[in-house]
């Protein structure tokens, strides 16, 4: 099981409960004991009963799709093993500098040279995989006239889960620099049914107006309903919110992550469209971090100015206070 239901770490590293190999370790602290636990974890024949918890080894869960979905060390370790034709698992170890802090790249390069080690970065691995494979495929191109202006639509299908994502492009992307971009997660209740429980429709309209005013830009609509938990779970969360829980508390009561969205798929779509540098239209700092790991440069942030009402005031408060959104109002 996961270590916590609400992962509030900045990088959302997916720690499970810590473990020890049963009957093969003593205190579990020594390098020998940890190696024995790692060997047991990597053995496909191992069962839950072969471990005790808590322990001194901390397993991590990699996202399906690897670094092209999440630009993390966990995914990089698994990707490297798979590229080498090995069992899809690895061991992640932080190297400490003389002052006790995590060793950074200049010292890592010297350390690697001294000990004859290969050195690779997550960015290198992303670049390699993006040059050799794709997680999305463009399946349709179509014209899309809207009340905000005329767009060209592009439909993409994920090779990981077959989800369909839509990109709306206005104007000429050109050299791909300083492109206004909105990455918008699907919201059936807000975008299609007019629900006032959230500000999704208001954000959608404000973003499209910003793009229309600029005369160019991309509105990317990702199939990530309910911050990635799916429509059914989002509606269950609504039921809990009706009983007094906020949007964060409701997810946790259901045993679901507060925000399980990933932006690797969106990054591949933007790259396919020719976007290289963007002015991201968002109030969510995590979205900026999520996109920057994929070779996309942020040249600025365009805030969405949204006023709440009596139906979504608590929702907006939770987004600001618990999810770190940078909310601005007109008044």
Residues with a known catalytic role: 259, 261
Give the β-pairing of 297-302 and 277-281: parallel
Nearest to 269 by CA among 147, 113, 155: 155
DSSP state of 330: -
H or E segment to which residue 159 belongs: none
Strand positions, DSSP E, the chain: 19-21, 51-57, 136-146, 149-158, 164-170, 179-185, 217-222, 277-281, 297-302
CA distance 302 to 135: 28
User: CB within 8 A of 264, min separation 6: which ones?
Assistant: 65, 67, 68, 69, 70, 71, 135, 294
Q: Within a 10 A sphere around the Cβ of 144, how many other Cβ atoms?
A: 15
Nearest to 68 by CA among 51, 83, 57, 55: 83
Q: What does each C-alpha distance from 254 to 5, 35, 90, 308 come to in angstroms?
A: 9, 36, 31, 26
DSSP state of 70: -
Q: Within a 10 A sphere around the Cβ of 165, how many other Cβ atoms?
A: 20
């Amino acid at each position: 099981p996961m270590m916590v239901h609400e992962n509030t770490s900045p990088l959302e590293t997916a720690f499970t409960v810590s473990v020890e190999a049963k009957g093969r370790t003593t205190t579990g602290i020594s390098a020998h004991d940890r190696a024995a636990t790692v060997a047991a974890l990597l053995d496909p024949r191992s069962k839950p009963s072969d471990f005790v918890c808590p322990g001194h080894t901390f397993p991590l869960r990699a996202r399906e799709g690897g670094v092209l979905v999440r630009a993390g060390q966990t995914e990089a370790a698994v990707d490297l093993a798979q590229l080498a034709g090995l069992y899809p698992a690895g061991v992640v170890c932080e190297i400490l500098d003389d002052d006790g802090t995590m060793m950074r790249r200049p010292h890592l390069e010297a350390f690697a040279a001294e000990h004859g080690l290969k050195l690779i970065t997550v960015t290198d691995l992303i670049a390699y995989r993006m040059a050799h494979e794709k997680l999305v495929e463009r399946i349709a191109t179509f014209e899309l006239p809207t009340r905000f202006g005329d767009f060209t639509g592009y439909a993409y299908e994920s090779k990981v889960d077959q989800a369909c994502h839509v990109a709306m492009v206005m104007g000429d992307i050109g050299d791909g620099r300083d492109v206004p971009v909105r990455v918008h997660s699907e919201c059936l209740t807000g975008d299609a049914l007019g629900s006032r429980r959230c500000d999704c429709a208001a954000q959608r309209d404000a973003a499209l107006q910003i793009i229309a005013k600029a005369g160019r830009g991309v509105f990317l609509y990702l199939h990530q309903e309910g911050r990635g938990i799916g429509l059914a779970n989002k509606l269950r969360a609504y039921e809990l919110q009706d009983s007094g829980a906020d949007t964060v508390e409701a997810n946790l009561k259901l045993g679901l992550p507060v925000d399980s969205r990933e932006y690797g798929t969106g990054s591949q779509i933007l790259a396919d469209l020719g976007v290289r540098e963007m002015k991201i239209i968002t109030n969510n700092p995590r979205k900026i971090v999520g996109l920057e790991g994929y070779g996309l440069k942020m040249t600025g942030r365009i805030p969405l100015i949204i006023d709440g009402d009596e139906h979504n005031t608590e929702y907006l408060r939770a987004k600001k206070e618990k999810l770190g959104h940078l909310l601005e109002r007109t008044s």
